[in-house]
Amino acid sequence: MTSHSAVPTSSPDSIPSLVSPILVASTFATPAATPLRLGVMASGSGSNFEAIAQAIADGQLHAKIPVLICNNRNAKALERAERWGIPSVLLDHRTFASREDLDRQIAETLKQHGVEWVIMAGWMRRVTQVLIDAFPDQMLNIHPSLLPSFPGIRAVEQALQSGVKISGCTVHYVHLEVDSGPIVMQAAVPILAEDTPATLQARIQVQEHRIFPPAIALAAAQKAGVDPTTFFSPLANHKVS
Ligand code: GRF
């Protein structure tokens, strides 16, 4: 993928954002025989979930989403799942006695759906070792800052208040400590003088949607010891099946 977006120079989005590592291949090397099976966990809007579903539909990401797990019955993510025809399971954290009990049920549900990779896309609960142990080195999260800066909640506000001039987003492995696991991919987003939390968050989300699909492919390829283009091609509509 390229590191510069072709948008008019009058738009704040014309400021180039930088993605690292950059995936340069434009076609699938050899698409893997079996698509990755992604279990997505979301608590809110679910725009990252939808970006992943769209990348799959466009033939960019060689994957399937057998299930979306949501902990909030009012989450827009549930509506998006319905629109995409993706099965969803509501596991309301308030009905579980402990974080571990919730995570045990999540792990069981994901396993029942044959999930290999767990994708936390706006999951607003701290996860426990119970879930991490069920999917060792196969859980990814997206966070709206350039980690290790600004982990935890209100990362966009933290970045604005700190006065840094560049922020961004990070896809990383999930470890027990919040937003702490090894980094897979990042995109940098310049902070503008006139930015508010809402405007900065909106520009960061554009980059989140851009990097999450290739980051999943990269992590899966590293684990399988194959080329990332086995699972990802930036060429839209390059259908593999
Ligand atoms: C994203 O900004 C992500 O970085 C953070 O939660 C937000 C989820 O957004 N972890 P959405 O629900 O995918 O729209």
Q: Residue 88's domain is classified under what CATH number?
A: 3.40.50.170
pLDDT at 241: 37
Does residue 129 fall inside a structural domain? Answer: yes
pLDDT given at position 183: 98
| Cα–Cα dist 208/202, whole Å | 10
Q: Is residue 159 part of a domain?
A: no
Residue 51 forms part of a structural domain:
yes
Q: How confident is the model at residue 22 (pLDDT cuts 50, 70, 90)?
A: confident
Which range of residues forms the domain containing residue 78?
Answer: 34-136
Looking at the CA of residue 120, tell me the nearest atom of ligand 1.
10
How far does residue 168's CA lie from ligand 1's centre (Å)? 12
Residue whose CA is at the smallest distance from ligand 1 atom 1 = 122
Whose CA is closest to atom 5 on ligand 1? 122
In the reported structure, the alpha carbon of residue 209 is separated from the centroid of ligand 1 by a whole-number distance in angstroms of 10
Q: In whole angstroms, how far apart are CA 39 and each of 110, 116, 120, 154, 165?
A: 6, 7, 8, 25, 35
Q: Could you tell me if 232 and 61 are in contact, meaning their C-beta atoms sit under 8 angstroms apart?
A: yes
On whether residue 117 sits in a domain, the answer given is yes
Distance of CA 53 to CAs 28, 78, 233, Å? 18, 13, 15
Q: Say what the pTM is.
A: 0.91
Phi, psi of 4 (to 5 degrees): -120, 140
Mutation test residue for ligand 1: of 208, 211, 212, the one with most atoms within 8 Å of CB: 208
Question: For 210-225, what is the mean pLDDT?
Answer: 95
Query: Residue 56 falls within a domain, yes or no?
Result: yes
59 domain residue, yes or no: yes
Verify whether ligand 1 is closer than 6 Å to residue 168 (CB atom).
no
- From the CA of 33, how far away is ligand 1's center (Å)? 31
Output the average pLDDT for the chain.
90
Number of domains in the chain: 1
∠ CA 37-39-44, rounded to 5°? 145
Q: What is the pLDDT of residues 107-157, one digit of tens each?
A: 999 999 999 999 999 999 999 999 999 999 999 999 999 999 999 999 999
Catalytic residue among 4, 62, 113, 143: 143
* CB 120 less than 6 A from any atom of ligand 1: no
- Give residue-wise pLDDT tens across range 69-99: 999 999 999 999 999 999 999 999 999 999 9
145 lines ligand 1 (CB under 6 A): no
Q: Look up 143 and say whether it is catalytic.
A: yes
pLDDT, residue 204, reads: 97
141 assigned to a ligand binding site: yes
Establish whether 47 is an annotated binding residue: yes
pLDDT at 139: 98
Residue 144 falls inside a structural domain: no
The residues, ordered by sequence, that sit 6+ positions from 76 with a Cβ below 8 Å of its Cβ are: 44, 45, 46
| In-domain check, residue 92 | yes
Rg of the chain on CA atoms, in Å? 17
Q: Ligand 1: does its nearest atom lie under 6 Å from the Cβ of 45?
A: yes
Residue 14's pLDDT is what?
Answer: 54
In SS3 terms, 69-132 reads as EECCCCCHHHHHHHHHCCCEEECCHHHCCCHHHHHHHHHHHHHHCCCCEEEECCCCCCCCHHHH
Average pLDDT score over residue span 182-189: 97
